[in-house]
């Protein structure tokens, strides 16, 4: 068996081991390389930065245990950004697990806030918790909050929450910030809130879903999009709040580079074999 055949028939477990080392190395030895900001992230940041003080925004937290490491740092930074700007935030999740991770992000952001920043639960932010029903649940929530939920995440009755005084539908909202992760739910926000109520919206999704939602940006239905860990890293960078996403983005670069080398190598070896008349 020639060296070309041996390389083409390599045990996949060896590739996994090489990949594991390539990914673990930059995590154990963090290196921050210069990075450019993608236009979608810049647009989303600029939009968020221009939300006026005192506005009320709807925030869907759709990250899970799998996607929180990618989107969580960005979500934390966005919550920090909104609260330091004096924007009031209504959180909710359309998944059960996501509710807990949204609370984790809120707690992390609250711990980072500068002393004296108003961030009182029920006044500056409220977490409505899990809303069942997927897109139908979102439609119900933005049309009539009180008919959809009785109490928030902490079991406080909706009518006892100062932030929600006079707020019962999407007409009171200035923006929607949709951290959908891998839920593929950004379309829910566009269809149920952004288009019918004419409320501007930004989104976050995992890297693989960026091509699915980028048409919404071209159509002006999304004001920007943070994609995966890179989107989170860019938000951290743009807000000047370096965090874990920047280090992870570098590890993704290493992994992506290795993957690209393997794809090119595989193709080159295949053509060498083909030219030798073996294929």
Partner 1 sequence: MDAEILGLIAGSLVSLGAYSVLIGDNPISRITENIYMGILGGYFFAQNWDFISKNALGKVANGEYVYIIAIILSLMLLGRLKPEYLWISRYPVVFTVGVGLGLSVRTTVMADFVGQIQATLLPWNSLNNIVMIIGTCLTAAYFIFTTQKSGLYNYVHTGGRVFLLCAFGVAYGQTVSFRLELVIGRLVAMLDPRVSMYTYAFLVIIAAILIYGYKTDKIVWYKGR
Chain residues in the site for partner 1 (CB under 8 A): 9-13, 16, 19-20, 23-24, 27-28, 65-70, 96-97, 99, 130-136, 139, 148-151, 155, 182, 187, 190-192, 194-196, 206-211, 215-216, 218-221, 228-229, 244, 247-248, 251-252, 255-256, 259
The minimum distance between CB 93 and partner 1, in angstroms, equals: 10
- Of 66 and 268, CB closest to partner 1: 66
Considering the complex, state which of residue 22 and residue 272 has its C-beta at the smaller distance from partner 1: 22
**In the complex, what is the shortest distance from the CB of residue 57 to partner 1, in angstroms, rounded to a whole number?**
20
Exposure string of 232-269, with b = 16+ CB inside 10 Å and e = fewer, is: bbbbbbbbeeebbbbbbbbbbebeeebeeeeeeeeeeb
CA separation for the pair 216, 10 (Å, rounded) = 42
Which of 65, 265 has the CB closer to partner 1? 65
Task: Report the C-alpha gap between 176 and 57 in whole angstroms.
Answer: 6
Q: How far is the CB of 139 from partner 1 (least distance, A)?
A: 4
Minimum CB distance to partner 1, residue 132 (Å):
5
Strands 56-61 and 175-181: what pairing? parallel
State in angstroms the smallest separation of the CB of 162 from partner 1: 20
User: Residue 61 or 139: which CB sits closer to partner 1?
Assistant: 139
Nearest 10 degrees: Cα torsion 90, 91, 94, 98: 180
Q: Are 83 and 113 in contact (CB under 8 A)?
A: yes
Between 82 and 210, name the residue whose CB sits nearer to partner 1.
Answer: 210
Q: How far is the CB of 140 from partner 1 (least distance, A)?
A: 9
Cα–Cα distance measured from residue 33 to residue 249, given in angstroms and rounded to the nearest whole number: 10
Residues contacting 114, CB < 8 A, separation 6+: 84
Query: Nearer Cβ to partner 1, position 163 or 190?
Result: 190
Question: Do residues 11 and 273 make contact, with C-beta atoms less than 8 angstroms apart?
Answer: no
């Amino acid at each position: 068996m020639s060296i070309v055949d041996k390389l083409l028939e390599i045990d996949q477990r060896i590739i996994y081991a090489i990949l594991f080392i390539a990914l673990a190395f930059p995590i154990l030895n963090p290196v921050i390389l210069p990075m450019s900001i993608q236009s979608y992230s810049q647009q989303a940041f600029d939009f968020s930065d221009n939300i006026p003080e005192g506005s009320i925004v709807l925030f869907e937290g759709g990250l899970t245990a799998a996607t929180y490491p990618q989107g969580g740092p960005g979500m934390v930074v966005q919550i920090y950004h909104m609260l330091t700007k004096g924007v009031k935030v209504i959180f909710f999740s359309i998944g059960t697990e996501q509710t807990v991770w949204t609370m984790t992000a809120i707690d992390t952001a609250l711990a980072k806030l500068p002393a004296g920043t108003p961030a009182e639960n029920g006044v500056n932010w409220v977490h409505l918790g899990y809303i069942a029903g997927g897109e139908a649940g979102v439609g119900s929530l933005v049309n009539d909050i009180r008919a959809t939920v009785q109490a928030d995440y902490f079991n406080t009755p909706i009518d006892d929450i100062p932030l929600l005084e006079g707020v019962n539908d999407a007409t009171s909202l200035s923006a929607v910030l949709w951290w959908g992760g891998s839920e593929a739910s950004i379309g829910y926000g566009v269809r149920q809130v952004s288009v019918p109520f004419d409320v501007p919206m930004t989104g976050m999704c995992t890297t693989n879903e960026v091509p699915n939602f980028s048409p919404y940006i071209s159509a002006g239905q999304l004001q920007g999009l943070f994609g995966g860990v890179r989107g989170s890293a860019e938000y951290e960078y743009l807000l000047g709040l370096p965090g874990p996403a920047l280090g992870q983005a570098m590890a993704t670069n290493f992994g992506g580079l290795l993957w690209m080398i393997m794809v090119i190598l595989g193709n080159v070896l295949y053509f060498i074999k083909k030219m030798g008349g073996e294929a």
